[in-house]
Amino acid sequence: MNPDTPNAFVAYTVIMLAHGDRYLLLHRSPAKKFMPNLWTGLGGLVEAHEYDDLSRSALRELHEEAGVEAADITHFALRRVLLHARPGGPLTLLLYYTAGWPSESAPPCSEGTLHWVTRAQFDALDIIDTTRPVLPLLADDLRDDPRGLAPVKLGIAVHHAGGADVFWGGR
Per residue in 16-52, pLDDT (tens digit) is 999 999 999 999 988 888 888 999 999 999 999 999 9
pLDDT at 6: 66
Which pLDDT belongs to residue 34? 80
pTM for the structure as a whole: 0.92
Chain mean pLDDT for the chain: 91
- Residues in contact with 7: Cβ distance below 8 Å, sequence separation at least 6, in sequence order: 90
CB 27, CB 39: distance < 8 Å? yes
Identify the pLDDT of residue 163.
76
At residue 3, does pLDDT exceed 80? no
Interacting residues of 77 by C-beta distance below 8 A, sequence separation 6+? 97, 98, 99, 147, 148, 149
